[in-house]
Amino acid sequence: MTEYDFDLFIIGAGSGGVRAGRLAAQLGKRVAVAEESLPGGTCVVRGCVPKKYLVYGADYGASLREAAQYGWSTGEVSFDWPTLRDAIQKEVSRLSGIYGNILEKNGATLYRERAVFVDAHTLRLTTSGKTVTAKTILVAVGGYPWTPNIKGAEHAIVSDDAFTLEALPDRALVIGGGYIACEFAGIYAGLGVTTTQAYRGDKLLNGFDEEVREQVGALQVNNKIDVKYKVSPTEIKKTSGGYIVTFDDGSKIGTDVVFMATGRKPNTETLGLEKAGVKVDGSGAIVVDAYSKSSAKNIYAVGDVTNRVNLTPVAIREAVAFIETVFKKNKTAYDHSNIASAVFTRPPVGSVGLSEEEARRTHGDDITIYATDFRPMKNALSGNPHRVLMKLITQGEKETVIGIHMVGDYSGEIIQALGICVKAGLTKADFDATCAVHPTLAEEIVTLKARES
C-alpha cells in the first residue's frame, strides 16, 4: 500500500478549507493545509467580514444625521477613514489568527505558501519547493475578482483593494449591478463619497425578484447614489485630477476611484489541475458531483471554486458533507435548495427561495403573491424616505411558502429565521397562525394579504 505524507491535503484556508481541515484533524486524520495569503480566505480577509464593518460604519453616519429628529444634537459630524480602516484591519488580523490557530491547535500542518498539483496525489509547495503527497486532496481555493479587459483597466480597483485604500476618495465610480457593486456603492455614499454606480442592465441585482430590484434601485437613489443604467465602460484614462471613464454610449464620468465589481471567477488557472486529471467547466470552475467529488477519484472541491452557490455558509456546509462522505462513511450530499442570503445594501435585502418570476416559470399560475410596501415607524420620525418591501410567494392549494423577499432594516437578520420556515416547507396558514411581535418590521410577514392580480 502506498504510504502518503497526509491523509488529507487541503489547498486554501478559507471558510470551506478551514472547516474541512479542523473536522478531519479532530477525527485523527493527518491533515495539511496550504494557504498563500492569510488564513480565513475571502470572507474573513477581503470580503464579507470587513465589508459588513464598512456597512456598520456607513450606518453610523446615517444614524448621526437622523438623530436630531429624535432629540439629539450631535454638533459637527465628521468621518475619519484611517480610523475605521485600521480598526477593521486589526479585527481582520485577529480573526485570521484564530483561523490559523484552529487548524494548528487541532494538529493540522499549515503551510503558508501556494500549493500546485504535480499529479493526482502530489503537490508542490511553491515557496519552499517542497513536495508532499496525500491520499485525498480537497481544493478550496475560492475565486478572484474578474474585470473586463478594457483599455486602462489597470487603473481600476477591485474588492480586494477596497479595504486598505490610503485615503477615502471624494468621488467613486462603481461599475456593476451585482452584490458587490450595490453594497460598495451604498458604503461609499454612506461615508460621504460622491458616488456613481454604472450598470449595463436596466435594473440592479440581476436574478433577484423584480420588485426587489426596483426597490434597490430606489434605495440607491435615496442614498444619493447616481445610478446610470445601460452603460458599459470602454476605457479608463488617468488624468492629473483622477480618472475619466468612457462608456459605450459615448458618455464620460470623472472620478477619483474606479471600482470594478464585475463578477468573480474560480481561482483555478495556475493550479495544475490538468496534471491531476481534474476537469473544469467553461467558467474555470471545478466540475464536481453531488458529493463534491471531481473527475479525479481522490480529489474533491468545495466553495466558490466549484461555482455552485458562492456564499461562505454554503462552502462550510459542502465541507462538512465532504468530511461525512469521505472520512465518516456517511455519504452526504449538501442540499443547495432554499439557501437564504442577504445583500448588504443600506438597508439590506433578504431573500430565500424562488423569486416571483422563477415561481411563475416553474409553477405557472399555481402561485399566490402576498406583498406589502410600507414606511417603517422609525422613519416616520427620522424623515428617512426608505420604504420596506416584504413579499411572500406560495404554491398550490396548500399554499406552501416557496419564496420570501425583503428590503428594509434588519432584512439580513429576519431572513435567517424565515429561511427555516421555507426550508421546513411551512404554509401560509402556519404564518397566519403565528402571532405578531409588535411593534416590529418583521410582524408584517404574519399578516400579509394576497395581492390583487
Position 347 contacts ligand NDP (CB under 6 A): no
Could you tell me the smallest distance in angstroms from the CB atom of residue 3 to ligand NDP? 40
Q: How far is the CB of 156 from ligand NDP (least distance, A)?
A: 11
Burial of 234 (0-12, 13-18, 19+ CB in 10 A): middle
CB closer to ligand NDP, 6 vs 259: 259
Q: Which of 29, 213, 264, 308 binds ligand NDP (CB under 6 A)?
A: 264
Strand 171-175 relative to strand 143-145, pairing: unpaired
What cell does 417 get?
Answer: 429565521
Shorter beta-carbon distance to ligand NDP: residue 299 or 314:
314
What gap in Å lies between CA 351 and CA 340, rounded to an integer?
6
Q: How far apart are CA 259 and CA 176, in angstroms?
A: 9
d(CA 403, CA 393): 5
Q: Which residue is nearest to ligand NDP (CB)?
A: 178
Task: With residue 247 as reference, give the H or E element that holds it.
Answer: strand 242-247
Contact flag: residue 148 with ligand NDP (CB under 6 A): yes
Per rule CB under 6 A, is residue 173 in the interface with ligand NDP? no
Euclidean distance between CA atoms 156 and 197, whole angstroms:
14
Among 24, 180, 404, 415, binds ligand NDP (CB under 6 A): 180
How many residues bind to ligand NDP according to rule CB under 6 A? 24
- Figure out which of the listed residues 288, 315, 342, 389 binds ligand NDP, where binding follows CB under 6 A: 342
The C-alpha angle 354, 291, 359, rounded to 5 degrees, equals 10
Q: Minimum distance between the CB of residue 175 and ligand NDP, rounded to whole angstroms?
A: 6
CA distance 103 to 8: 13
Sheet with strand 171-175: strands edge to edge: 225-228, 194-198, 171-175, 257-260
Can you read off the three cell numbers belonging to residue 404?
Answer: 420570501
Contacts of 8 (CB under 8 A, 6+ apart): 20, 21, 24, 29, 30, 31, 32, 134, 135, 136, 137, 138, 326, 327
- Measured from the CB of residue 348, what is the shortest distance to ligand NDP in angstroms? 8
Residue 345 interacting with ligand NDP (CB under 6 A):
no
Nearer to ligand NDP by C-beta: 47 or 100? 47
Query: What's the distance, CA 337 to chain centroid?
Result: 17
- Residue closer to ligand NDP by CB (options 180, 288) is 180
Q: Tell me the per-residue interface mask from 376 to 395 with ligand NDP, x by CB under 6 A, - otherwise.
A: --------------------
340 counts as binding ligand NDP under rule CB under 6 A: no
Is residue 152 at the binding interface for ligand NDP, with CB under 6 A as the rule?
no
In whole angstroms, the minimum distance from the beta carbon of 107 to ligand NDP comes to: 32
Which of residues 12, 169, 177, 403 is near ligand NDP by CB under 6 A? Answer: 177
Supply the residues annotated as catalytic.
438
Per rule CB under 6 A, is residue 344 in the interface with ligand NDP? yes
Binding region for ligand NDP (CB under 6 A) out of 220-228, 256-264, 331-339, 350-358? 256-264
The C-alpha atoms of residue 446 and residue 100 are separated, in whole angstroms, by 43
Which CB, 265 or 360, lies closer to ligand NDP?
265
Q: Give the full edge-to-edge strand order of the sheet including 242-247.
A: 233-239, 242-247, 252-255
Q: Does the footprint of ligand NDP cover residue 192 (CB under 6 A)?
A: no
Find all residues with CB under 8 Å of 64, minimum gap 6, and list them.
Answer: 74, 77
Residue 181 interacts with ligand NDP (CB under 6 A): yes or no: yes
CB 225 within 8 A of CB 185: yes
Q: How far is the CB of 181 from ligand NDP (least distance, A)?
A: 6
Residues 140, 10 contacting (CB under 8 angstroms): yes
Q: How far is the CB of 176 from ligand NDP (least distance, A)?
A: 4
Contact residue for ligand NDP among 9, 111, 163, 179 (CB under 6 A):
179
Please identify which residue in 245, 311, 323, 354 interacts with ligand NDP, judged by CB under 6 A: 311
Please give the residue ranges that form the binding site for ligand NDP (CB under 6 A). Answer: 148, 175-181, 183, 199-201, 206, 232, 261-264, 310-311, 341-344
